[in-house]
Chains A and B, each alone.
Chain A
Amino acid sequence: MGAESTSTTPRDDPAAQHAEPAAERLETTFELNGSGVRLEVAPRMLLTDALRQAGAHGTRAGCEHGVCGACTVLLDGEPVRSCLMLAVQADGCRVETVESLAAADGSLDPLQDAFHRHHGLQCGFCTGGILMSLTALLREDPAPSEALVRDTLQGHLCRCTGYQQMIDAVLELAGGAGGPPGAPDADGSTAGGAGR
């Protein structure tokens, strides 16, 4: 994982495939889901690829030009496209990926659980990025409006087109147990979601 000697060129290291001189590799250190990571990377390696190299395979390389959102991670708590950042730019930062959500015993966090119950995913390719964007949203506003949820989801493409179930999942969470009583129509949208 990362920090290989430059004489080996593992197939999953896109930078190594281009056989750049050892001098061009830079050390980058960041916190990944609570653990320290040190990588030696070519300057041009995208953060997406570095995260995958570090074992965070839930971060997907989709369009690689900032449109699809599948590579979205949290950088110092804020959602960013990891395909539009260089790995070296994460130096000294805190990175959270979808792997950080479930507990060590595999039990799902409330957002994942709501996605599960509402069938908020089909093939799952886009899901890691979507969960991270929504995690940032819910931290900032535990009871977001539907408009805000939609605004957040507009930064993501789901080609299985399951957006409505994702919205239902978040709104249920927003108006659910522990949430403010009487959140308008939260019950109605939950029932609608369950009926689908």
Chain B
Amino acid sequence: MKPAPFAYHRPSGLDEVLELLAVHGADAKLLAGGQSLLPLMNFRLSRPAHVIDVNRVAALDYEQALDDAREGGQRLVLGALTRHRRLTEPGFERRCRLLSLVGPWIGHPQIRTRGTLGGSIAHADSAAELPGALLALDGEVLVASSRGERVIAARDLFVHHLTTTLEDDEVITGVRIPVPAGREGCGFAEVAARRGDFALAGAMVRLSAAPAGDGSLAEARVVLIGAGPTPLRVEAAERPLLEGGVTPASLEALEAAVRSGVDPTPQQAASREYLVRVAGTLARRAAEQAGADLAARLGDDAAGRENGSRHGR
């Protein structure tokens, strides 16, 4: 249970990382939090000849709010070295509600101190929370190599179990997430053998209110984790929510759509039949939670307006 020998590199700048990747890319692994890579190396399932430790690359550890000229909104940009722990800090829910909701479910506290956003997404475990959240948020990854930079949308990133469209010489430098202009409600549910272990399956639902404020939905996302070879967006499950809001009938339709839309890989602890069933149930719970979350926030707004008008008198 020790890693096979490798050459260790500890660059301090991004340029140096890109140079190392250009030379060693095919035989190299990037080491960020190490919470997925080191278990694989300890088991000798991964035997990279070169390990490039990016933990001291300051250019990968940042947070920015960018104005989005195209849509008049904002985008949140999080550096690849953002530790999971940051997502659980008080106040983070104001920056990204869904990430703050899934944060406490990523591994254990002792994993969250080290594990990183970029690392989890590059590792692309279909049962992990962050790849799914990136998809549900319509997020993008910012990628660099010695050949240049590019942006990959979440929907174009995940290919199969532990497989992405990243090239051998590329590094994720950050993650870009649109910040909705209107109110948003989020829900998340998962099952695992022990909380903090890898999920058997999970579901996240994100609902955006229409700007009209009449309670109708502008956007709905239903994403399942552990229910296919990649995190899976089930558009057929979004339609009933968009058409009728969160009601007993739309939840029924959502649950059925999820069960016919997922493609889980059986595991030792969970048969395909079980995973299909539980995916539907989890999606329903996440949708209920998202609906209640959105209603509460719209209620806060209404109360705020009332208070404001009273003060105005």
Give residues in A with beta carbon < 8 Å to B: 14-15, 18, 20, 24, 26, 42-46, 49, 61, 64-67, 69, 72, 75, 78-81, 83-86, 88-89, 133, 137, 151-152, 154-155
Contacts and interface: CB of A to CB of B under 8 A. Distances in A.
B43 interface: yes
A49 B139 CA distance: 39
Nearest to A44: B3
A83 B1 CA distance: 10
Interface in B87-134: 104, 107-111, 113-114
Interface string B1-43: 1111111101000000000000000000001001100110111
A84 B3 contact: no
Contact of A26 (B8, B43, B85): B8
Contact of B38 (A43, A49, A61, A66): A66
**Which one of A24, A46, A151, A155 has the highest number of Cβ atoms from chain B below 10 Å of its Cβ?**
A155
Nearest to B2: A14
Contacts of A88: 8, 10, 53
A64 B1 contact: yes
Contacts, number: 95
Contact of A84 (B2, B4, B10, B34): B34
B195 interface: yes
B7 A85 contact: no
Given A72-B110, A89-B34, A137-B109, 13 more contacts: A14-B2, A26-B8, A44-B4, A44-B41, A46-B2, A61-B1, A65-B38, A66-B35, A69-B110, A88-B8, A89-B31, A154-B196, A155-B107
A154 B108 contact: yes
A151 B109 contact: yes
A155 B109 contact: yes
8 contacts: A43-B6, A43-B7, A44-B2, A67-B197, A78-B113, A79-B109, A85-B38, A154-B195
Contacts of A66: 35, 38-39, 111
B2 A79 contact: no
A59 B197 CA distance: 22
Interface residues of B, number: 33
A65 B5 contact: no
**Would you list the 3 A-B pairs with minimal beta carbon distance, nearest first?**
A155-B108, A43-B8, A65-B39
A116 B211 CA distance: 59
A112 to B, nearest CB: 19
A155 B7 contact: no
Nearest to B83: A78
Contacts of B10: 88
Given A64-B42, A66-B35, A66-B38, A81 B6 contact: no
B297 to A, nearest CB: 24
A119 B48 CA distance: 45
A155 B8 contact: no
Contacts of B51: 43, 86
B41 to A, nearest CB: 8
Contacts of B108: 69, 154-155
**Which one of B7, B39, B85, B108 has the highest number of Cβ atoms from chain A below 10 Å of its Cβ?**
B108
Contacts of A18: 5
A46 B41 CA distance: 11
A113 B195 CA distance: 28
Contacts of A75: 113
Contacts of B197: 67
Contacts of B74: none
B194 interface: yes
Interface string B39-71: 101110000000101010000000000000000
A135 to B, nearest CB: 12
Contacts of A67: 197
A81 B114 contact: yes
B61 to A, nearest CB: 14
A17 B94 CA distance: 52
Given A79-B109, A155-B109, A85 B5 contact: no
A46 to B, nearest CB: 7
**Which one of B5, B7, B51, B55 has the highest number of Cβ atoms from chain A below 10 Å of its Cβ?**
B5
B5 A79 contact: no
Contacts of A46: 2-3, 38, 42
A49 B107 CA distance: 23
Given A44-B3, A44-B5, A44-B6, A65 B114 contact: no
B104 to A, nearest CB: 8
A89 B111 contact: no
Contacts of B109: 79, 133, 137, 151-152, 155
